[in-house]
Amino acid sequence: MSATTANISASEAPWQLPSRGKVGMICLIIAESAIFTIFIAAYVFYIGKSLSGPTPRAVLKVPVVGTICLLSSSLTMHWAIAALRKAKTGLFSLFWFVTLALGAIFIIGTAIEWRHMIYQDGFTIQTNLFGTTFYSLVGLHASHVIVGLIGLALVMILTLLGKVKPAHTERCEVFSLYWHFVDAVWVVVFTTVYILGR
Amino acid sequence: MPRVTTTCDAHHIAPSAIAIGYGDSMPTHSSMPTGRGITLATALPRLENCGTVVRALSSAIRRAPLALFLFSAVVPSAIAASSGGPTSPTNIFAPASTPAHSIYRLSVFELEILGAIFVVVFSLLAYAVTKFRDRNHADETEPPQIYGSNQMELAWTVIPVLIVVVLFLSTAQVIHRVQDAHAPDGKIQVTAVAHQFWWEYRYPQLGVVAANELHVPVSDPNNPTPTYIHLLSADVDHSFWVPRLAGKTDLIPNHPNNMWIDPHETGLYLGQCAQFCGTQHAKMLLRVYVQSREDFDRWVHDQQQQAAPANPDVAAGSALFISKACFACHTINGTIAAGKVGPDLTHLMSRDTIGSGSVPNTPANLLKWVRDPATFKPGTLMPAQDLTDQELGQIVAYLMTLH
Amino acid sequence: MASEAVPLTVHKSPLAVVYEWLGTADHKKIGLMYIVYALLFLVVMGIEACLIRIQLAHANATFLSPQVFNRLFTLHGTTGVFFVAMPILVGFGNYIVPLMIGARDMAYPRLNAFGFWMTAFGGLLLYGSFFAGASIAQAGAAPDFGWFAYAPLTSTAFSAGHTADYWNLSILLGGVGSIAAGINFVATVLTMRCPGMTLGKMPLMAWMNLVLGGLILVTISPLTAAQMMLMADRYLGAHFFDVQAGGSVVMWMHFFWIFGHPEVYVLIIPCFAFISEVVPVFSRKAIFGYPAMVAATVSIGFVSLGVWAHHMFTVGMPSYGNAFFVLTTMVVAVPTGIKIFNWLATLWGGKIRFATPMMFAVGFLFQFLIGGLTGITLATAPFDWQLGNSYFVVAHFHYVIVGGIMFSIFAAFYYWFPKMTGRMLNETLGKWHFWIFLIGFHLTFDTLHIPGLLGMPRRIYTYEAGRGWEIWNMISSVGVIFQGVAVLIFVYNMVASFIKGASAGNDPWDAWTLEWATTSPPPEYNFAVVPEVHSRRPLWDIKHPEDPDWKYE
């Protein structure tokens, strides 16, 4: 087949295609974004429509520490990838561990917040529309953080076993896209829940 | 990789004729000498054995556009035949009220445009598949290869855009006219509450509560007395659709809607619930009685009366109505029965039908209904009460005094 | 299946064959499993349709109880959309697209298998609901609230027991499977093309499956989100669609149709792809206006995301809201029209060979034209106030789904069956199938428009005499007999041809895309040498070395 047109192929640049991993992860992120969009739309639509208390102002405490931790974990994740690309595996494992720790602090903060609301305030998903939308939206995000933490922990274990090499940069980078997405969603969720809805 | 053997003679149209620029004027003719007539003789040699069938089929194929056209002609002619009005009491093309009229005029205008598009595109397609059939299978040269034409793409983009603009503007006008209509002072207000599977009608200004049969006055265009209907639902989604009076509007819990009708002629207008609402969606029928102003006022006056005290002949039935739990769901004004789940029965006998239009309101039907409503409406929420025949007779005798 | 037609395969024990199919990650095997799975459910939904049409053939019929009728139309619709149309189209895409772009598999073979099995279990779960209820004789506890499941019918108050839970979980699983397929299509088309196949040189089918994949990502996900909410309502006592707590049932409508309308394009775009392959090959011409076809497909994808509320013209939106959705919906007619005209121009001046795939494709063109035009009447909000939820709507979408989608799927079967099995489908039987199905289709669905115009709402288990509906319903039911016979001929043809059909060879249709450059059926690795292409029709270039396409593209 190629014999017929050998002359034109010679002048062309080498055949290159987009990274399979990145395309797949971006697709997953698009699908996830659509899911979050629906939950956020429901949240915004139901702001102030609860027929009974408590109101967001009465129970919500702004998770400042958790938010700072989660957002800065994006930065450490970025540095970790940069380190791996330069084959600095020690630095990579340090930053990777910090990312994992920051994410864990966030999720522990959420857990403490929920525990307080459920056991102290008696505020659950059944209480009113606010409870319904709050627990589902924040819970959806938290479940994504947990999935991310599992991934981070797996890579951490492999790193400690000395299996992660600079050759794995692209795979780690694909995973980092997911983590950045989880962080970016938190910015939107935070704005919706703690600024708009409060 | 495996090379493909080609069946083509490999001398087709000269490259200059295939150039993209050539496509701006499409060829309308390609020379095709006559020859053998079996499309896939090479691929399926077995077919030659049943040549008769193939010939019959290929002649059928030749007539395909005609057959298709005949089939499609069924639709418009049938509409024409059935749009006379008398054939169906629920014909959308027999409007009798302003909203239905507005929709009717818009739809005729639109159907004319769409009909024209249909005729043009259908004819072009039919012409293409007949004219450009491969009649000479022996000739294995390929036809001229045309890759496209920007002018033509532009043409069949711009023309549809213009049609869309026209259709949109005429549509927007009708939407505005129907939805944003100004209500005159003489309007009648009705609140319609849909239940599984019946209709409750309240006239807040008149103090009337009715069920399943909506009474409204005829509206004289010079002195309009339209009826504005406030639509509510007690349970699930329903839809109010009386095709000759107006388009449908849904009744949705926690989402009040409004619609209006101004019937120009007296008479009975039929319809039914048009949003699936559960088991007996099919028998949630609508009956709108359009009456002269005098008849309507008389009906209102009658409905405003309380039920007469039960006369001694039916005292037993009246007592059973209370002791057998009927009163828990039904209201009879002037008694302690004040249930809100089922239809108000204060003026039951003023209605032509029972079971939301399911069956005529005759003593026999009433008896069957009270014995077991599922006889007429399986799945209705009204339970059978396990009454003896004697009790049944007494209750029905009482009900028949509720005029 | 594949081992049947390749003579030189090593004999395997039946268990090994089963294991091979259950554990496969080969795109062709998965594609075939999707297709066979969908065909089984097609028969199931066809039987449901027959029962429905028997009940509606005349007024006041008592063949089915209202409860059973409501379950049947719910399952008919749900099955048709999620477990027949979606899997069959994904199956063809799975089989054909990698071959067409010169790849050896999909981008993520194991994700592909995961997607199939999720879809498969979703369908089984839906029918599992039959065994969850009081008694099977009463059609068990199958869901009975219609395929768009308007709240609050799905709430615990109106759907006691587990019917809605089965439906909910099955759609959720099917949705996850579809999203997996969507990711795979996008990644495959973008990252697996053979050397030389730039985006502008992909076959239209690859383009359309790319748009399909993208559309799945942004449309199935909202449905998945809405199902999560429904699940939270039913299991956790949340109040998303709970009117008692101030919730909104209209929100469910919005969320459902944000999925539901683009879903229509998810179903029709792969069919556009089939037609865009079949029409050129059997007209012996290159597709007319390739860039316009691509642009039209992409713009349909985008515009379709902004039209959902045309399913809600009767729920009481403000007049400007209705007008907005009228406009967006009508705009879809423009790119759709471009497609029809490009197919027409492809036919024009060709040498049309009426083999069975082409007959179904031409049937598609005529019927899709009519289905599109009746769609415009429904886009006109005031007209929709009359037509919405009537039998006119039922007729319209069956015109698109049967007259459009089914016809193009049949075209695809006759076109690619030789590639998948190595054997031709019998042309004579194929033509009988076409003509009988055509007659049945028009008898059933042309006539169904009329009761809609005469005020017959959909989803009623019976109707009153004297409304002018009887004759049309009777003709419509009679048409089902023809359709049933035609489908039986088709099934017989597939089985018989699979066993003893004529050998297909690599390229029975003298076609131009890469799947015809390999053996029929293709080996597991598809191509011994990864091909290199220079135009949209690589096989044309080989067959016409003196006049290759790449000179003009």
Residues of C in contact with B82 (CB under 8 A): 450, 453-454, 468
Could you tell me the CA-to-CA distances from B93 to A20, B242, B265 in Å, in that order?
A: 57, 12, 16
Q: What mean pLDDT comes out for the span C344-373? A: 96
Could you tell me the CA-to-CA distances from C261 to B164, B220, C174, C306, C308 in Å, in that order?
A: 20, 42, 17, 9, 5
How far is C13 from chain B, CA to nearest CA, in Å? 31
Are B402 and B348 within 8 A, CB to CB?
Answer: yes
User: Looking at the domain assignment, is residue A120 inside a domain?
Assistant: yes
pLDDT of residue C224: 96
Percent of chain A with pLDDT over 90: 86
CB pairs under 8 A between B and C: 389
Give the integer Cα–Cα distance in Å for A77 and A152.
10
Q: Mind listing the pLDDT tens digit for each residue in C340-349?
A: 999 999 999 9
Of C531, C496, C534, C495, residue with least CA distance to C515: C531
- Total residues belonging to chain C: 553
Give the integer Cα–Cα distance in Å for C498 and A1.
31
Are B324 and B391 within 8 A, CB to CB?
Answer: yes
In the numeric block, the tokens 């799905």 are attached to C154
Helix runs in B20-97, H state only? 51-62, 64-82
Distance from CA of residue C293 to its chain's centroid?
Answer: 20
Sheet of B213-217: strands edge to edge? B213-217, B285-291, B267-272
Of B302-311, C23-32, C41-50, the least confident: B302-311
Q: How many helices (H) and strands (E) does chain A have?
A: 7, 0
Beta strands in B169-281 (DSSP E): 188-195, 198-203, 208-211, 213-217, 227-233, 238-240, 249-251, 257-261, 267-272
Give the number of other Cβ atoms within 10 Å of residue C191's Cβ. Answer: 17
Q: What are phi and psi of B211, to 5 degrees?
A: -140, 135
Q: Mind listing the pLDDT tens digit for each residue in A135-159?
A: 999 999 999 999 999 999 999 999 9
Of A124, A188, A171, residue with least CA distance to A20: A171
Domain count, chain A: 1
Are B358 and B376 within 8 A, CB to CB?
Answer: yes
* Bridge partners of residue B286, in order along the sequence: B271
| CB atoms B175 and C389 under 8 Å | no
Could you tell me the CA-to-CA distances from C473 to C254, C444, C461 in Å, in that order?
A: 32, 8, 13
Residue A10 has pLDDT above 60, yes or no: no
Is A150 in CB contact (< 8 Å) with chain C?
no
Residues carrying CATH 2.60.40.420, chain B: 189-293, 312-399
pLDDT of residue C140: 56
How far is A165 from chain C, CA to nearest CA, in Å? 23
Is C401 in CB contact (< 8 Å) with chain B?
no
| CB atoms C352 and B129 under 8 Å | yes
User: Which chain C residue shows the shortest CA-CA distance from B115?
Assistant: C373
pLDDT of residue B311: 79
Q: How far apart are the first and last CA of chain C?
A: 39
Q: What are phi and psi of C537, to 5 degrees?
A: -125, 75
User: Looking at the domain assignment, is residue C4 inside a domain?
Assistant: no
Q: Which chains share 3+ C-beta pairs under 8 angstroms with C?
A: A, B
Residue A35 carries which DSSP code? H
Is A55 in CB contact (< 8 Å) with chain C?
no
* CATH T-level fold of B189-293: Immunoglobulin-like (2.60.40)
Residues 6 or more apart in contact with residue A88 via CB below 8 angstroms: none
Sheet of B198-203: strands edge to edge? B208-211, B198-203, B188-195, B227-233, B257-261
Q: Given A23, A24, A45, which is nearest C251 (Cβ)?
A: A45
Q: Given B26, B75, B92, which is nearest C386 (Cβ)?
A: B92
User: Which chain C residue shows the shortest CA-CA distance from A130?
Assistant: C239
Are B325 and B251 within 8 A, CB to CB?
Answer: no
Distance from CA of residue B279 to its chain's centroid?
Answer: 19
| CB atoms B282 and C152 under 8 Å | no
Q: Given B92, B144, B157, which is nearest C455 (Cβ)?
A: B92
Quote helix, strand, coil % in chain A, to nearest 5: 80, 0, 20
Give the integer Cα–Cα distance in Å for C220 and B391.
57
pLDDT of residue B83: 47
Residue A12 has pLDDT above 90, yes or no: no
HEC per residue, C215-264:
HHHHHHHHHHHHHHHHHHHHHHCCCCCCHHHCCCHHHHHHHHHHHHHHHH
pLDDT of residue B395: 94
| CB atoms A129 and C239 under 8 Å | yes
Are C399 and C444 within 8 A, CB to CB?
Answer: no
Where in the sequence is the domain holding C226, given as residue range(s)? Answer: 28-551
Q: How far apart are the first and last CA of chain A?
A: 66
Could you tell me the CA-to-CA distances from C21 to C2, C34, C90, C98, C164 in Å, in that order?
A: 11, 12, 18, 19, 32
Is A118 in CB contact (< 8 Å) with chain C?
no
Give the integer Cα–Cα distance in Å for B360 and B372.
16
CATH no. of B312-399 = 2.60.40.420
Of A110, A105, A108, residue with least CA distance to A76: A105
pLDDT band at C322 (very low <50, low <70, confident <90, very high): very high
Tokens standing for residue B134: 């491969």
Where in the sequence is the domain holding A178, given as residue range(s)? Answer: 20-196
Are B65 and B73 within 8 A, CB to CB?
Answer: no
Are B334 and B307 within 8 A, CB to CB?
Answer: yes
Residues carrying CATH 1.10.287.90, chain B: 6-179
In the numeric block, the tokens 């060709």 are attached to C350
Are C441 and B68 within 8 A, CB to CB?
Answer: no
Q: Given C153, C316, C326, which is nearest B249 (Cβ)?
A: C316
How far is A98 from chain C, CA to nearest CA, in Å? 31
- C203: CATH: 1.20.210.10
Residues of A in contact with C224 (CB under 8 A): 35
Residue type, A8: I
pLDDT of residue B8: 36
User: Looking at the domain assignment, is residue C19 inside a domain?
Assistant: no
Domain count, chain C: 1
Q: What mean pLDDT comes out for the span C522-548? A: 92
**pLDDT averaged over 10-residue windows placed end to end, chain B, 403 residues:** 36 36 35 32 36 46 48 51 63 95 95 96 96 85 91 94 96 94 90 96 95 95 92 96 96 96 95 95 96 96 85 87 92 91 94 94 95 92 92 93 90
User: Looking at the domain assignment, is residue A10 inside a domain?
Assistant: no
Tokens standing for residue A24: 């797949």
How far is A182 from chain C, CA to nearest CA, in Å? 17
Q: Mind listing the pLDDT tens digit for each residue in C86-114?
A: 999 999 999 999 999 999 999 999 999 99
Tokens standing for residue B254: 């926690």
How far is B22 from chain C, CA to nearest CA, in Å? 11
In DSSP notation, B339-387 reads: -SSS---TTGGG-SEETTTTEE--HHHHHHHHH-GGGTSTT-SSPP---
CATH 3.90.76.10 assigned to domain B6-179? The reply is no
Q: Which of residues 91-120 of C touch B (CB under 8 A)?
A: none
Residue A17 has pLDDT above 50, yes or no: yes
Of B270, B246, B204, B278, residue with least CA distance to B102: B246
User: Looking at the domain assignment, is residue A162 inside a domain?
Assistant: yes
Distance from CA of residue B396 to its chain's centroid?
Answer: 37
- A98: CATH: 1.20.120.80
Residue B94 carries which DSSP code? S
pLDDT of residue B185: 86
User: Looking at the domain assignment, is residue C437 inside a domain?
Assistant: yes
User: Which chain C residue shows the shortest CA-CA distance from B122?
Assistant: C366
Q: Over chain C, what is the mean pLDDT?
A: 93
Is B37 in CB contact (< 8 Å) with chain C?
no
User: Looking at the domain assignment, is residue C16 inside a domain?
Assistant: no
Q: What are phi and psi of B189, to 5 degrees?
A: -110, 130
| CB atoms A129 and C236 under 8 Å | no
Distance from CA of residue C110 to its chain's centroid?
Answer: 23
Show the CA angle centred on residue C544, arms to residues C542 and C546, nearest 5°: 115
| CB atoms B254 and C246 under 8 Å | yes
Is C425 in CB contact (< 8 Å) with chain B?
no
Q: Over chain A, what is the mean pLDDT?
A: 92
pLDDT of residue A198: 82
ipTM of the complex: 0.93
Q: Mind listing the pLDDT tens digit for each residue in C276-311?
A: 999 999 999 999 999 999 999 999 999 999 999 999
pLDDT of residue B169: 96
Could you tell me the CA-to-CA distances from A22 to A28, A174, B75 in Å, in that order?
A: 10, 6, 52
pLDDT of residue A4: 42
Give the integer Cα–Cα distance in Å for B260 and C346.
50
CA atoms within 13 A on the CB side of B360: 3
Tokens standing for residue C242: 């709970």
Residue B263 carries which DSSP code? B
Residues 6 or more apart in contact with residue A120 via CB below 8 angstroms: none
Q: Mind listing the pLDDT tens digit for each residue in C464-488?
A: 998 999 999 999 999 999 999 999 9
Q: Given C183, C190, C226, which is nearest A28 (Cβ)?
A: C183
Q: Given A1, A128, A136, which is nearest C532 (Cβ)?
A: A1
Is C381 in CB contact (< 8 Å) with chain B?
yes
Residue C175 Rama label (left phi>0; alpha psi -120 to 50; beta): alpha
Tokens standing for residue C211: 């748009």
Is A1 in CB contact (< 8 Å) with chain C?
yes
How far is B9 from chain C, CA to nearest CA, in Å? 9
Give the integer Cα–Cα distance in Å for A148 and A104.
10
Give the integer Cα–Cα distance in Å for C509 and C543.
13
pLDDT of residue B59: 52
Q: Which chains share 3+ C-beta pairs under 8 angstroms with B?
A: C
